[in-house]
Amino acid sequence: MSKKLRTKDLVKLGWPKRAAGLAINVLATRFKRESDEWRHATLGNLLAHPDNFVSDQNWGGVATALGGRAPEEAGSYITPEILKSPGDFSIFESKAGIAPKAVQQLYDAMRLPVAAAGALMPDAHHGYGLPIGGVLATVGSVIPYGVGVDIGCRMCLSVFDLPGELADNDQSRLASILQRETAFGLQTHDRANDHPVLEDDTFQLLKTAKALKGKAARQLGSSGGGNHFVEFGQVELETNNAFGRPAGSYLALLSHSGSRGMGAKLALHYTDLAMKECRLPKHLKSLAWLDLAKDSGREYWAAMTLAGDYASACHDDIHQRISKALAEKAMVRVENHHNFAWKDRLPDGRDVIVHRKGATPAAKGELGIIPGSMADPGFIVRGLGNPASLNSASHGAGRQLSRSEAKNSITGASLRDLLKERKVHLIGGGIDEAPHAYKDIHEVMAGQQELVEVLGVFRPKVVRMA
User: Per the annotation, where are the binding residues for Mn(2+)?
Assistant: 150, 228, 256, 338
Euclidean distance between CA atoms 313 and 321, whole angstroms: 12
Report which residue type is found at 285: K
Backbone φ, ψ for residue 291 (5° rounding) = -80, 120
Contacts of 180 (CB under 8 A, 6+ apart): 325
* 135 vs 215: CA distance, rounded Å: 30
Among 395, 425, 436, 442, the one annotated catalytic: 395
CA pseudo-torsion sign 227, 228, 233, 239? positive
Nearest of 282, 323, 308 to residue 181 by alpha carbon: 323
Q: Extract the annotated binding site for GMP.
A: 227-231, 338-339, 371-374, 395-398
Rounded Cα–Cα distance for residues 302 and 308 (Å):
10
Q: Is 337 a catalytic residue?
A: no
What is the distance between the alpha carbons of residues 140 and 159, in angstroms, rounded to a whole number? Answer: 39
CB 381 within 8 A of CB 362: yes
Q: How far is CA 291 from CA 76, 106, 140, in A?
A: 11, 20, 6
Instruction: Indicate the annotated binding residues.
Output: 150, 227-231, 256, 338-339, 371-374, 395-398
Angle between helices 36-48 and 17-30 (to 10 degrees): 140
Contact 259, 223 (CB under 8 A): no
Measured between alpha carbons, how far is 173 from 151 in angstroms, rounded to an integer?
33
Give the dihedral of Cα atoms 184, 226, 299, 102; nearest 10 deg.
Answer: 170
Q: What is the 3-state secondary structure (H, E, C) of 205-256?
A: HCHHHHCCHHHHHHHCCCECCCCCEEEEEEEEECCCCCCCCCCEEEEEEEEE
Which residues are designated catalytic? Answer: 395
